[in-house]
Amino acid sequence: MEEKLKTLAKWLQEVTNSDFGYDSYSDGKLEDAIAQSQAETCNIIGGYLEEILAMSDEQIETELKQK
């Protein structure tokens, strides 16, 4: 399962505008901004996932207790 999550984290960090069907030749600025925002969100989630996977069991327990 951990290897699958690592793969997902990697994929999310590699998402670009074009993954959301954005075409710079036919789409406008609003579409570009939306696609950019979606790609950035995926990249951030991938980073968080990678960070969580790198945590020790103690760190995870501490985080769960804080929330």
Per residue in 5-48, pLDDT tens?
Answer: 999 999 999 999 888 887 777 878 888 889 999 999 999 999 99
Exposure class string for 36-51: b at 16+ Cβ within 10 A, else e: eebbeebeeebeebbe
CA-closest candidate to residue 32, choices 42, 22, 41 = 22
DSSP letters spanning 28-67: -HHHHHHHHHHHHHHHHHHHHHHHHHHS-HHHHHHHHHH-
Say what the pLDDT of residue 67 is. 63
Say what the pLDDT of residue 40 is. 96
Do residues 13 and 51 make contact, with C-beta atoms less than 8 angstroms apart?
A: no
Do residues 20 and 43 make contact, with C-beta atoms less than 8 angstroms apart?
A: no
Structural domain count, the chain: 1
Q: Domain range for residue 49?
A: 2-66
